[in-house]
Amino acid sequence: MEATCVTHVGICVRDMEKSLAFYRDALGMKVLGEKTTDPSEGGQQGGRIQNYKRQRRVRRWVSLAYGEGATPTLTLTSHPGEEPDGAPIQLDQVGISHISFGVHDVKALANELTAKGYQLAGPAESFLNASGEMRSIYVFDPDGILVQFNNPDGVV
């Protein structure tokens, strides 16, 4: 198999509106599509939806990106009226531990996000390198999922 790219990353969220306030409003991602569906659209096996831990009645998803045609996209999924199972994991646990976005000014973004009430995954000073520069931070999204922001250009 020769894959051409990562098309999207999907995360299940507890509260779609809080998640949209973070990813769309605070981070500036654009909503590309939104749909409420029957969760069985991916197929059922033995009366249970094969990609789910337990039976669900409805699925809402919202696809976001930093622009039309940009990949990968981020797909937020929720199940209105139903509480999701599980808890976010940390970097040393099996599973997708975080998502990461490249930004030019990590420190300015850290200041902006904390001013908006979002929590860094540690004290701001802990993200400084030996030269006192902030090139990478981790922030918790509204569900406690780790989101990294780093400077892929190496320029502070």
pLDDT tens, N- to C-terminus, the chain (156 residues) = 888 888 999 999 999 999 999 999 999 999 999 999 887 765 555 555 667 777 888 899 999 999 888 889 999 999 999 988 889 998 898 988 999 999 999 999 999 999 999 999 999 999 999 999 999 999 999 999 999 999 987 665
The answer to whether residues 97 and 91 touch, using CB atoms and an 8 Å cutoff, is: yes
Model-level pTM?
0.87
**Would you state the pLDDT for residue 100?**
94
Two structure tokens written together for 127: 């993200």
Structure tokens given for 26: 């605070």
Structural domains of the chain sorted by starting position, each given as residue range(s) with its CATH number in brackets: 1-40+56-83 (3.10.180.10), 87-156 (3.10.180.10)
User: For the chain, what is the total number of helices (H) and then of strands (E)?
Assistant: 2, 9
Q: Are 42 and 106 in contact (CB under 8 A)?
A: no
